[in-house]
Amino acid sequence: MSKKNQTLGEFIIENQADFAYSSGELSRLINSIRLAAKVVNHEVNKAGLVDIIGAYGETNIQGEDQQKMDVYANETFIKTLTNREIVCGIASEENDDFITIEGHKKDHKNKYVVLMDPLDGSSNIDVNVSVGTIFSIYRRVTPVGTPVTKEDFLQAGNKQVAAGYIIYGTSTMLVYTTGNGVNGFTLNPALGSWYLSHPQMQFPETGTIYSINEGNYIHFPQGVKDYIKYCQQEKPEGPYTSRYIGSMVSDIHRNMIKGGIFIYPKCSQNSSGKLRLLYECNPMAFITEQANGKASDGFERILDIKPTELHQRVPFFCGSTKMVEKAEEFMTAKDR
């Protein structure tokens, strides 16, 4: 039985049997992610003291301006995962294409691929607001012993074996699932250890917080506009509260604890939505469902969408089940 304040290492060992395809590799992979997270956390906490904030001067495959911390976090996670020879492939929001990882014998024997958003909400670092890392883990589908192909990455979210996020905030937390609930671990910076602080995290069935960038209201589908109006109406519990940080990890983390919904819909400016299915939506949807919540594109379950490209974008509705279902009602009425 997992106990509050046990270390992440102890938790992994104790729950090894719950991991899909349990062989020790997935445990080592989670350990590598926690190590990279500590390195990135150390650098994030120095923002303002060293030259690590601001724009890097280049754009990524999304056409977005890269921040210096985007590049640093991306390189740190890739280097850590590559050096430990645990994965056979990595795909990142910051890279044009996936990366093939060979073992020291060049035998491609590893079984897992990792997809990640190395630093979600990175522009917030300049103003000392929480940011995060999102990761998703799949078992490869091509034969072991051969180089990975795009097919290994273009899997539906319901095939994930693990997913998680790290939130770099007032405290640093690693929250993850392997399909047996969601657990959160807080970093003790003095000791460098992660401790179980939030066991079996769950979304309240409903809540009173809605998280959406209302500055884009004029561009939203009518169903989303109607849902926002519903949120603002008087109810027995009062009108809902608007809370939007601009870092999806932070918004969803808060909503999971307090109860709420996060929405990033398609709009006239982004007809397919803005968030990436593989690097952001699938892992957060897996976590959300494991935490008793719901995630959809407004009409269908996110985890059932079959990806067609590495940087595919989708609309995203995520949070407390009853709130997402209500939003879907408005979408179905106006925008199907």
Q: Are 305 and 314 in contact (CB under 8 A)?
A: yes
- Annotated ligand binding at 123? The verdict is yes
Cβ neighbour number for residue 217 with a 10 Å cutoff:
12
> Which H or E run includes 168?
strand 160-168
CB 89 within 8 A of CB 8: no
Tokens of 139: 């078992």
Residues 121 and 131: beta-carbon distance below 8 Å = yes
Q: Is 123:114 a contact under the CB 8 Å cutoff?
A: no
| 93 assigned binding-site residue | yes
Q: Nearest 5 degrees, angle CA 53-CA 55-CA 61?
A: 130
The answer to whether 24 is annotated as binding is no
Compute the mean pLDDT over every residue in the chain, rounded to the nearest whole number: 89
Lowest mean pLDDT among 58-67, 88-97, 212-221, 229-238: 58-67
**What does the chain come to in residues?**
336
pLDDT for res 178: 93
- The pLDDT confidence band at residue 56, using thresholds 50, 70 and 90, is very low
Instruction: Return the DSSP state at 277.
Output: I
Strands 112-120 and 87-92: parallel
Task: Report pLDDT digits (tens) over 101-154.
Answer: 976 556 678 899 999 999 998 877 778 788 999 999 999 999 988 999 999 999
* Structure-token pair, residue 270: 């982004």
Average pLDDT over residues 215-223: 95
C-alpha to C-alpha distance for 262 and 244, rounded to whole angstroms: 9
pLDDT score of 49 more than 50:
no
How far apart CA 42 and CA 10 sit, in angstroms, is 23
> Does pLDDT of 57 surpass 70?
no
User: What single-letter DSSP state applies at residue 312?
Assistant: -
Per-residue pLDDT, 239: 92
C-alpha 200, offset from chain centre:
18
pLDDT over 80 at 21, yes or no: no
Query: Is 244 part of any known ligand binding site?
Result: yes
Tokens representing 222 are 């009518």
Q: Is 122 annotated as a binding residue?
A: yes
Domains of the chain (ranges; CATH) run: 8-198 (3.30.540.10), 209-335 (3.40.190.80)
Which residues partner with 296 through β-bridges? 301, 317
What SS3 state is found at 174?
strand
The C-alpha atoms of residue 319 and residue 67 are separated, in whole angstroms, by 28
Average pLDDT over residues 275-301: 98
pLDDT at residue number 235: 83
What DSSP designation does 97 have? S
> Is the pLDDT score of 42 beyond 80?
yes
Average pLDDT over residues 69-79: 92
What is the per-residue pLDDT for 13? 84
> How many alpha carbons fall within 13 Å on the CB side of residue 181?
10
Q: 308-336: per-residue pLDDT in tens?
A: 999 999 999 999 999 999 999 999 997 66
The two structure tokens encoding residue 328 = 């879907």
As a whole number, mean pLDDT of residues 7-27 equals 77
Token pair in block for residue 331: 């979408």
Between CA 198 and CA 187 the distance in angstroms is 12
278 in a labelled binding site: no
- The answer to whether 192 and 34 have CB atoms below 8 angstroms apart is no
